[in-house]
């Protein structure tokens, strides 16, 4: 027995609401809203799939979400990703270190040199903390490099 064909419920949102949501949301949300707009305007499913380069299955999922939750069902949700390796503070410290190699008696960075310095991080942390505060206290570059030079 064939499955009944799901159609988008026009009572859930107007085409103008779909357009507005598509403009505000991500590109994925815009694609979903465009697909529903086409279907509400009377375009066939196959034409929508071909025009937007999506599968019939994806289109069915979007129609189901639209029928259940309205426009909110089409908004792309943030997906979980890889957890951060560095905390915000660690990232700031590394940026300060990269921007000021003078802090560790270097004039420029090589991958090997940077790895060595990061490996011996404990000795470096105190000097980096001071360098970060000096950078904040002296926003222009000339004062910043002179302040970092005093740490060496």
CA distances from 136 to 91, 96, 130, 147 (A): 16, 10, 10, 11
The mean pLDDT of the chain is 79
pLDDT score of 148 more than 50 = no
- What integer pLDDT is reported at residue 124 of this predicted model? 60
Stretch 67-74: mean pLDDT, rounded?
A: 90
The per-residue pLDDT for range 112-142, each reduced to its tens digit, is: 887 777 777 655 666 666 666 666 666 555 4
Are residues 34 and 25 in contact, defined by beta-carbon separation less than 8 angstroms?
no
pLDDT score of 51 more than 90 = yes
Instruction: Extract the tokens encoding 10.
Output: 């026009």
Query: Who wins on pLDDT, 88 or 56?
Result: 56
- DSSP category for residue 108: S
Instruction: Extract the tokens encoding 68.
Output: 């259940």
Query: Who wins on pLDDT, 144 or 75?
Result: 75
Q: Is pTM beyond 0.75 here?
A: no
């Amino acid at each position: 027995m064939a499955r009944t064909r799901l159609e988008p419920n026009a009572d859930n949102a107007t085409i103008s609401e779909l357009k507005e949501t598509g403009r505000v949301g991500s590109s994925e949300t815009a694609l979903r809203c465009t697909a529903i707009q086409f279907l509400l305007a009377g375009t066939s499913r196959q034409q929508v799939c071909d025009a937007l380069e999506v599968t019939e299955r994806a289109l069915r999922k979007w129609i189901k979400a639209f029928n259940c939750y309205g426009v909110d069902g089409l908004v792309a949700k943030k997906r979980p990703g890889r957890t951060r390796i560095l905390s915000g503070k660690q990232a700031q410290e590394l940026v300060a270190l990269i921007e000021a190699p003078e802090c560790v008696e270097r004039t420029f960075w090589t991958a090997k040199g940077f790895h060595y310095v990061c490996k011996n991080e404990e000795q470096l942390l105190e000097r980096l903390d001071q360098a970060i505060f000096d950078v904040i206290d002296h926003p222009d570059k000339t004062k910043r490099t002179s302040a970092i030079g005093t740490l060496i």
